[in-house]
Amino acid sequence: MKELDWKNIGFGYVKTNCNIRCEFHNGQWGEPYLTSDEFLPLHIAATSLHYGQEVFEGAKVFRGVDGKARLFRIEENARRMKASADYLLMAAPSEELFIDMCEKVIRANADFLPPYGTGASLYVRPLLIGTTAEVGVKTARDYMFLIFVTPVGPYFKNGFAPIDVVLEKLHDRAAPRGTGQAKVGGNYAASIQAGAFAHERGFSNELYLDAAEQKYIDEFGAANFFAIRDGAYITPLSRSVLGSITNKSLRTLAEDLGLRVEDRKIEYEKEIATFDEVGACGTAAVISPVGRLYDPNKDKWYEYDAPGKYSTMMFHALQDIQYGRAEDKHGWTRIIEGI
Ligand SMILES: *Cc1c(COP(=O)(O)O)cnc(C)c1O
């Protein structure tokens, strides 16, 4: 194993042994290959560079208490990438190819999988790009699917601590009939100003309302929204929200804890002051408990119990499965044998 300062590596790119790639030409995928090259030979007119024909994924591998390496719900990432690619009229790897390449690249970089107990994990980043040279706006005929891994530190250095978030008032992340439900780089381009401005002012994240009416809660910059109130786990139903795998898992865990799950429109003005707990959820942090939400339209702060009782229980329940401390009764983890 590499000797890295696992607790302090943060969330940046760390060079590993290799990445894995597979190319699509003449209507079919070729053989995946490992390479230590961190650069791509890419045509200057590739569709991904000019017209955003690019979709990506994010997953994590955890070294468990029993020493085993566990990949969390990777088939969900494979399906979501296929859905995102379909939206952009791109060829996508099959679920089988996707998972097989994930396993291969993780095995080849096993010495970068952080040890148990450090809170660090191995982040897996699958990326699919159009590579055909085009000048007009069209879908590519050639694609590159690649996966790199990089060790990432614990999200919470100071424990499971509350965050401050801000209601976004100047920007929309995704249009009601746009690409919000696809994991495309373009959505991040749309939110980069809002995110930078929020960070500048000391907020960890920004909350978006629906772009059409500014009436319903959509999601945070790169994390889904959920709230707890009166025995219910409440999360927005919206076409412009990215279907978070963490959120999907939390819904199940909430039910396990006896909460009722409400997947519905959430009217901001009517409900924002009524929640007991509010959380941002995603692969990076599992749950970031929201302590305070600042509303710049009203110059008003909303406060929540953070970390609240249910957020804390769900956070531990999910991490216990990821680290092999609890029985994986929903079949969410895939053990990478032999590393
Ligand atoms: C990736 C992503 C999330 C989190 O999804 P997970 O599958 O839980 O990691 C939430 N919102 C957006 C916009 C995302 O791109």
Q: What is the DSSP string of 5-49?
A: -GGG--SS----S-EEEEEEETTEE---EEE---S----TTBHHH
pLDDT score at 212: 96
Lowest mean pLDDT among 152-161, 281-290, 294-303: 152-161
- pLDDT confidence band for 2 (50 / 70 / 90): confident
User: Across residues 131-149, what is the average pLDDT?
Assistant: 97
Residue nearest to atom 5 of ligand 1 (CA): 244
What average pLDDT is seen over the chain? Answer: 96
Q: Which atom of ligand 1 is nearest to the CA of 284?
A: 9
User: Is ligand 1 within 6 A of the CB of residue 307?
Assistant: no
Per DSSP (E only), the strands in the chain are: 19-25, 28-29, 33-35, 54-56, 59-63, 69-72, 121-130, 143-152, 163-167, 205-209, 217-220, 224-229, 232-236, 260-264, 277-282, 286-295, 300-303, 333-336
The per-residue pLDDT for 272 is 98
The secondary structure of residue 159, as a DSSP letter, is: S
- Of 285, 87, 52, 45, which Cα lies nearest the Cα of 189? 52
Q: How many angstroms does the Cα of residue 64 sit away from the middle of ligand 1? A: 23
Ligand 1 neighbourhood includes 219 CB (under 6 angstroms): yes
Which residues are identified as catalytic?
183
242 CB within 6 A, ligand 1: yes
Q: Looking at residue 67, what is its pLDDT?
A: 97
Which atom of ligand 1 is nearest the CA belonging to 243?
5
Residue 329 Cα to ligand 1 middle (Å) = 23
According to DSSP, residue 267 is labeled: B
CB atoms within 10 A of CB 326: 14
Mapped onto helix, strand or coil, the DSSP state of residue 251 is helix
- The alpha carbon of 219 and the centre of ligand 1 are apart by a number of angstroms equal to 10
Read off the tokens for 133.
Answer: 């040279």
Whether omega for the bond prior to residue 236 falls within 30 degrees of 0, making it cis, is no
Half-sphere exposure of 330 (CA within 13 A, CB side): 16
Is ligand 1 within 6 A of the CB of residue 183?
yes
CA distance 294 to 314: 25
Please name the residue whose Cα sits nearest to atom 13 of ligand 1.
Answer: 222
Q: How far apart are CA 218 and CA 173, in angstroms?
A: 9
Is the pLDDT assigned to residue 283 strictly greater than 80? yes
Index of the ligand 1 atom closest to the CA of residue 173 = 13
Nearest atom within ligand 1 for CA of residue 224: 10
At 113 the three-state DSSP class reads coil
Any ligand 1 atom below 6 A from CB of 58? yes
Q: What is the mean pLDDT of residues 277-298?
A: 97
**Distance from the CA of 222 to the center of ligand 1, in angstroms?**
5
pLDDT of residue 158: 67
Report the residue among 242, 245, 247, 319 best suited for mutation to probe ligand 1: largest number of ligand atoms under 8 A from its CB. 242
Nearest protein Cα to ligand 1, atom 14: 222
Q: What is the pLDDT of residue 3?
A: 83
The Cα 111–Cα 153 span in angstroms is: 15
pTM over 0.95: yes
- Predicted confidence at residue 256, as pLDDT, reads 97
Atom of ligand 1 nearest to the CA of 248: 8
SS3 breakdown of the chain: % helix, strand, coil, rounded to 5?
Answer: 25, 30, 45
- Range with lowest mean pLDDT among 10-14, 56-60, 123-127: 10-14
Quick: pLDDT tens for 214-260.
999 999 999 999 999 999 999 999 999 999 999 999 999 999 999 99
User: Which tokens go with 225?
Assistant: 């929204």
Determine the distance separating the centroid of ligand 1 and the alpha carbon of 59, expressed in angstroms.
10
Share of the chain above pLDDT 90, in %: 94
Which residue has the CA at smallest separation from atom 12 of ligand 1?
Answer: 222
d(CA 157, CA 277): 21
CA of 174 to the centre of ligand 1 (A): 14
Ramachandran sector of residue 297 (left: φ over 0; alpha: ψ -120 to 50; beta: rest) = alpha
Structure tokens that stand for 328 in this block: 């994986």
